[in-house]
Structures are given as structure tokens and as C-alpha cells.
Amino acid sequence: MALGNNVLVGQSGGPTAAINASLAGVVGAARGAGLHAIGMRYGIQGLLDGRAVDLDERLQGPAQLGLLSHTPSSYLGSCRYKLPDPAADEAPYRRLFERFGKLGARAVLYIGGNDSMDTIAKLSRYGAEAGSEIRFVGVPKTIDNDLVLTDHTPGYGSAAKFIAATVDELACDADVYDLKSVTFVEIMGRDAGWLAASASLAGEAGGHEPDLVLLPEVPLDEQGLLQRLAELIAERNTVVVAVSEGVRTADGTPVCERAGSTARLDAFGHAAALSGTSRYLADLARRELGCKARAVELCTTQRCASHLASQTDLTEAAGLGACGVNAALEGATGVMSALARVSDAPYEVRYEVVDVSRVANAVKAVPPEMIREDGMGVTEAYLRYARPLVAGEPSLSFVGGVPAHVAPLA
């Protein structure tokens, strides 16, 4: 089958404040190469049902692409669909490749996290075995920052910026009364603590950084935590603890389960919508220490707060989308566009491609050198790593006092 003249692109997994900047990068690079951009509606799952949208028609001109870059969530819609092993069920692959042919796909790009990279890895292997010349490329995104083989992921810098600012604001609010209190701020992060770690950036501008940071990488010792909290409360009125939703006890049990929460599993077998860690710890502190304790869950605000996005994040997201298109046009397949850090100060990265099969279903944890010896905070090594990622403020368009976004798809 002859290759078409179109770039097919989809978005998958949880949205971010930068995922649409990656989409804008893909569309812009496709147009620059004289190709047409077509979007999957609701990812691979939607494409299986024949749902696609003409992006050149919907997003006309650079102004629309600019507005798209500042629009939160996934413009095309998302899914959490796991492709089966083709040896067990080949039907979805046959149907997808039929769709690719009808849509005139020269390249297929999928913007997402490690599960999305699993999809690209499977499609590229199947395509190679079937003799297809269509190129398959992954474009990274995840606020969790847990993809391997890339220095960091689009979405993380913006989420980190929002978390740091919000933790500082919460600490200011908690400190208003002359009484002893502990505030637990629950932050996303199922398996890795990158997001919770970013709360420490709250102190960069003289603000209130959290007193403690609890990460999934370090098993929670309740008695050790209570002792540390007691020491802190003896010194000051207000104590703030940033805690990852995925914190576990020494036997691997998620702390949220002690609050009575049971996480459902998504199609990839991952725990989804963890909740209750901060509530459990607040109850524990209230009962054992006799102080005021409050639980605050940041929830989905962490991934949709485009009004506080990082310009570095948006720029790199678009760059990775364009890198993916260019790699496909140069003949690469079964790869993911990635970032390699050249230096911290001045901050510099280079764009490259890596083997997507090595990214799929792997998790990058916060390394030991970025975690304090007591396991309840981060080191200067983490701060050096994270500072550049939250830098820069985009110039937003406002209408009626609120940020303008591209009109949603029907």
C-alpha cells in the first residue's frame, strides 16, 4: 500500500497543561513539511470506531495553534485502551491498519505516558511484521515525570509550578491563627514522587516550603513521622507536609487504603484515582498529637492549571511534537522523542529519539541522591534539576477576565 500524505496524531492517558502544546508542535511540523494533520478522536480506542478529525480545518493558522498551546487537557480527547497481544487477538490491529490506510497515514504519532508508549511499541512491531512503511513515533507527556530515557516529561514543569505556588499559598493560609496545626497536602504520584518533591520549590522565592515531603520511594514509618511532627510543632505553630498519594508502608500497602479507599484498576492494571492518604495522616496526627490537622487534596487541578503553566514546559512540549514528526519523516519508527539535559546553568537540553520499547511500562523513580537521608524531604540535587523546568510565564490571551482557550471539539 502506498504511503499517504497525512500525519495521524492522537492523545492518550491523563491530560496535562502542556499536552496540547505537543499537539500544536505536531500539527505545525506536519504543515511545515507540506503534510496534512488528522487527529484521532479519543485516541486509539476512538480510531477503532472510525472517529477522526481534520486538524488543518479545525485549527487554521498560527494564531489557533498558539491558542491551542495554552488550552489545558487533551483537545482530541483521550482513552486508556490497552492493545492486546496480536498473537492472541489480531483483529484490532487489522482494523487499525485499515483505518491508517484509508486516512492516508504516512506517520502515526501518539502523545502520552508509558502506557501510550506500549501502544506505539506494539503498532510499530506489528507494522514491521506486516511490511507496512508507516512510521510510528511516541511523543512523551505525563505530569508524573516517570518516563525513562528522557530527562523529564512535558506536563511535569507546569504541574510542579502549580504545586509549588499552591503549597506556598496553603501554608500562608494555615499560618493565620495562633494555634498548633498540621496541614497535609496530597499530591498526585502513584509510583514516583516527582510531583510531591516539587512542593519544595515553594521556598525558592522566600515562600513557605513544606516542612516534610513524603514520597512513594521511601516506605512510611508512622511512628517516625509522628515523632518528627511532634518536634516541629514544639518549634512552631504551623507545619506543612507534602505527601504523595502513592505513599506506602514497609509491606507495600498504599496508605490510602488505611483510610478505607480502594483504588480501581485501569486497562493497564494500574491503580487509578488514589485518594485518602492525606485524610488518614491528618486523622492520625489529630488523634496522636492532639493538634488541629487538615487534609487538602489538590486532585486534578495539578494537571489542568494552564493559567500557571511553565513556559519552558510549553516550549519543550511543542519541540518534542515537532521532533517526533521530523524523526518519522526521516524514516524512524518504534521510537519516542526525548530530552537530554546538556547543562543546568545555563539550562540547555537537546532533542533526540530513543527506543520506545525500552520506555513502555517502565517507571523512573526519584533517585536516592535527590532524597534527604531522613527520607522526608529532597536535596539540593533535586532543586537544581527542577528549577529550570518551572521557569518562564507564557503570555496569555484573556477574554472577559479569564484565559482564552481554543473551542472544544463537538
Q: How far apart are CA 88 and CA 66, in angstroms?
A: 43
136, with CB counted inside 10 A (0-12, 13-18, 19+), is: buried
Question: In terms of Cα–Cα distance, which of 37, 126, 46 is closest to 80?
Answer: 46
Q: How far apart are CA 215 and CA 306, in angstroms?
A: 25
Per-residue buried b or exposed e for 46-57, using 16+ beta carbons within 10 Å of the residue's own CB = bbbeebbbebee
Q: How far apart are CA 352 and CA 309, in angstroms?
A: 24
CA distances from 2 to 106, 131, 213 (A): 9, 12, 55
Residue in 115, 144, 146, 313 annotated catalytic: 144
Supply the DSSP symbol for 134. -
**Does 15 sit behind a cis peptide bond, omega within 30 degrees of 0 on the bond before it?**
no
- CB under 8 Å to 400, separation ≥6 — which residues? none
Q: How far apart are CA 228 and CA 223, in angstroms?
A: 9
Q: How far apart are CA 323 and CA 328, in angstroms?
A: 9
Active site residue 374: no
Question: In terms of Cα–Cα distance, which of 92, 93, 1, 77 is closest to 39?
Answer: 77
Q: How far apart are CA 272 and CA 139, in angstroms?
A: 22
Q: How far apart are CA 87 and CA 125, in angstroms?
A: 12
Tell me if 387 sits within 8 A of 170, measured CB to CB.
Answer: no
Give the residue numbers annotated as catalytic, written as ranges: 144
